[in-house]
Amino acid sequence: MRKAVFLGLLVILLAFGFIGCDDSDGDNEETFTSSTNETISNDINSLGLVGTSVSSSNVNIATAVITSGKIKITSVGQGSAVITVIENSKNAIINVSVSKTGIITIESIVKYDTTGEENIQLPEPVGINELSGKTYDSGFFIINFSSDNSYSLSSRLEDNTPFIFETGFYSWNSSQKTVIVAVDKYNLGFGLKNKIEIEEDLFGIYSSLPPEELELTIEQYIDIYLQSVFLSTTYSYVIEGGLIKYFGVKVTLPDTGTTIAGCAYSQKASTDAFGTHYLLSISFDNALSILISTYGQPEEGEWAWQSDSILTTGADWVILEYTRYNDFRLTKSVSGETTTKGWKVNLPFVGTWSGSIIALVGNTDPTDGTFSITFGENTFDNEISIENGFVLQQKGTYTYTDTSVTGTVMEINITFNNNSSGWISSGEIFEGNKIPINGTLSNGQLIIHLNNEAFLNDAMLIRSN
């Protein structure tokens, strides 16, 4: 399938190559005639909003107005333009192209999405949905999984009533007993709102503070807050007797069943914040020595154990805690007094990797190009750029081990000579097929495997940040 996919992309590339070619036969000269397109309704179903105004990125190519419940687009000249439909702070995008005869083509529509980007980036579910209709109560947090792949997260108020403060979507892998949840809306104290709405609220809050009280810029405060809230997190679960008996963040440290990161433990439990506690059967100093030898010195700063579990009810214990923020914390409690050391988890692929490739244009002429890919915690985006002006951008999700990465491309944007297709679902382009991406980490170099007829070599990448 990989070969077919990339051959398909080369067909697209060659097709782009013929766009705008000179017609040496003067007898075939075509005349530009302005035309209109009113096929797009100005409504929620078509655009995700009801526009109150509209603009064009290039009025010499196309103009647009809202009329009779439609977006009326008029061609002016050959080329491409971006039509932006606006409702307050919301935007929807219509990518159009105009032929040399004046015909308008709607290349893509990017709706305004109130759910944010997180749900778009969820991978396809694997296996049956074992979580549908089930609830897990940690004693403090309650997560409820609905049949429509949505979830809600509640906490208990002082009167023990649940208070929903987070909603989102989830995707599962029943063979691995894991589920990825992506936050869609969060309650900052003003009701459940999406990321854009919360960003507006935060701007108002921070703008009202005296400047001398702010150590960072308002934008930095907002970014830090949004990154801490709108997470995509992978959890492990255990179902027994039709009930969720265990629910905790997926631990990436080596767990043999008797040792965690080389430290012997006697019990394991999920925390009230869906982290994971390991009750160590060795001393704090012994565990600290083992962790330092493997993971280096603890991170600087103030660290504290994050949450409670059935393993922290006593006064004396040593616990290794793994949290949803991709860190782990070693804590000892002596007569109720705690000491904590912390480490950030090494996510081997997170960051940007880049290098050069050699592509075959039309399977004949070797052409230099570049390949770059940026990994987040669960998502990636990459770009292949070839010297003839062809650029392929991809977004998707991935899973990994210490040395290998496997991903699925979810969206594609193809650009040639500054003409862009806009972001399109990969399933839409390739009739439901998913494009895989695979890589191997070796001696600090990431090898993206491109062994197909479109490239002469794999992409040999090094971390650039």
Q: Is the pTM of this model over 0.85?
A: no
Q: Do 148 and 175 lie in a common domain?
A: yes
Q: For a pLDDT cut of 70, what percent of the chain falls above it?
A: 87
Same structural domain, 265 and 311: yes
Q: How many domains does the chain have?
A: 4
For residues 385 and 417, membership in a common domain is answered with yes
Predicted local distance difference test score (pLDDT) of residue 2: 34
Q: Does the pLDDT at position 431 exceed 60?
A: no
Is residue 96 domain-shared with residue 41, that is, in the same domain? yes
Rounded CA gap, 2 and 450, in Å? 9
In degrees rounded to 5, what are phi and psi of residue 197?
A: -65, -40
pLDDT band with cut points at 50, 70 and 90 for residue 28: low
Question: What are the distances in angstroms from CA 44 to CA 70, 83, 85, 87, 301?
Answer: 12, 17, 12, 11, 48
Are 344 and 294 contacting, i.e. CB atoms less than 8 angstroms apart? no
CA atoms within 13 A on the CB side of 124: 14
Domain that holds residue 383: 351-463
What pLDDT sits at residue 390? 86
Residue 126, in any domain of the structure = no
| 329 and 361 assigned to the same domain | no
- How far apart are alpha carbons 309 and 276 in whole angstroms? 9
Which of residues 296, 321, 344 is at a domain's end? 344
Question: Does 14 map to a domain?
Answer: no
Average pLDDT value for residue range 202-225: 84
Same-domain pairing of 327 and 360: no
Residue 385 domain flag: yes
Is the residue at 234 inside a domain? yes
The pLDDT score that the predictor gives to residue 7 is 35
226 and 277 in a single domain? The answer is: no
360 with 459, same domain: the answer is yes
Between residues 349 and 64, which one has the greater pLDDT?
Answer: 64
- Is residue 356 domain-shared with residue 421, that is, in the same domain? yes
| CATH at residue 401 | 2.40.128
Same domain for 374 and 455, yes or no, is yes
The reply to whether 230 falls in a domain is yes
Look at residue 13 in the predicted model and tell me its pLDDT.
39
Residue 63 shares a structural domain with residue 87: yes
Q: Is residue 181 part of a domain?
A: yes
178-187, 380-389, 424-433: the lowest-pLDDT one = 424-433
Mean pLDDT of 192-205: 87
DSSP 43-60: SHHHHSS--SEEEES-TT
How many Å apart are CA 321 and CA 280, to the nearest integer? 10
For residues 381 and 435, membership in a common domain is answered with yes
The one-letter code for the residue type at 223 is D
Q: Does the residue 223 lie in any domain?
A: yes
367 lies in a domain? Answer: yes
Q: Which of 290, 319, 344 is the last residue of a domain?
A: 344
Which of 12-16, 61-65, 230-234, 456-460: highest mean pLDDT?
61-65
Q: Which of 240, 265, 284 is the last residue in one of the domains?
A: 240
Q: Give Cα 75 distance to the centre of its chain.
A: 36
